[in-house]
Amino acid sequence: MGRIEVTQGDITKLKVDAIVNAANTTLRGGGGVDGAIHRAAGPGLDVACAKFGGCATGEARITPGFNLPATFIIHTPGPVWQGGHHHEASLLANSYRNSLQLAVANGCRTVAFPSISTGVYAYPLDQAAPLAIATIQHFLGNNSQLDRVTMVCFDARTYAAYQRALEQN
């Protein structure tokens, strides 16, 4: 098995050093995986996130995991899809890259990502999955601190897209 794996499941249940939250720019919780992480982590997460005063798309912030089995939560707002002509690809790559850099800076060895921006932000899954896998592989190629990066897919369609991207990369 390589240093990247793809699985289907609930990211809030993983015992890893850090899970990544596909946050909105307020970092104050929302729908999808963001809402699920905020609910599972408990009210301390919202208090911790409020102190940041938000986060720009493609950037990342880190908080404790609170009630989650993960030690840390890394929050990154991915881009909203606007047809692909508003730097969405570079912003999405930045979300993955900046999250990985923050994980390494905080001593993490295992990180789990959801599929960033492919839910309500409508980033096409067939474009997001290969970009995410390529960005993670490039980062891992230049960094030996991370032992494993897991893509945690919410449903079978997402799992299939990331599995295909991993096999083709």
Secondary structure (3-state) at 89: helix
Q: Quick one: average pLDDT of 135-159?
A: 96
Residue 34 a catalytic site member: yes
Residues near 84 by beta carbon (within 8 Å), at least 6 away in sequence: 127
- pTM exceeding the 0.85 threshold for the entire prediction: yes
**Domain hosting residue 131, numbered range:** 4-168
> What are the contacts of 132-135 at 24+ separation with CB within 8 A?
132/92, 132/96, 132/162, 132/165, 133/4, 133/162, 133/165, 133/166, 133/169, 134/165, 134/169, 135/92, 135/93, 135/96, 135/97
Q: What is the CATH number of the domain that holds 126?
A: 3.40.220.10
pLDDT digits (tens, 9 = 90+) for 89-105: 999 999 999 999 999 99
d(CA 55, CA 137): 25
φ and ψ of 103, to 5 deg: -60, -50
Residue 155 has pLDDT above 90, yes or no: yes
Catalytic residue among 10, 34, 126, 155: 34
Q: Quick one: average pLDDT of 11-27?
A: 97
pLDDT on residue 116: 97
Q: How many domains does the chain have?
A: 1
Residue 161 has pLDDT above 60, yes or no: yes
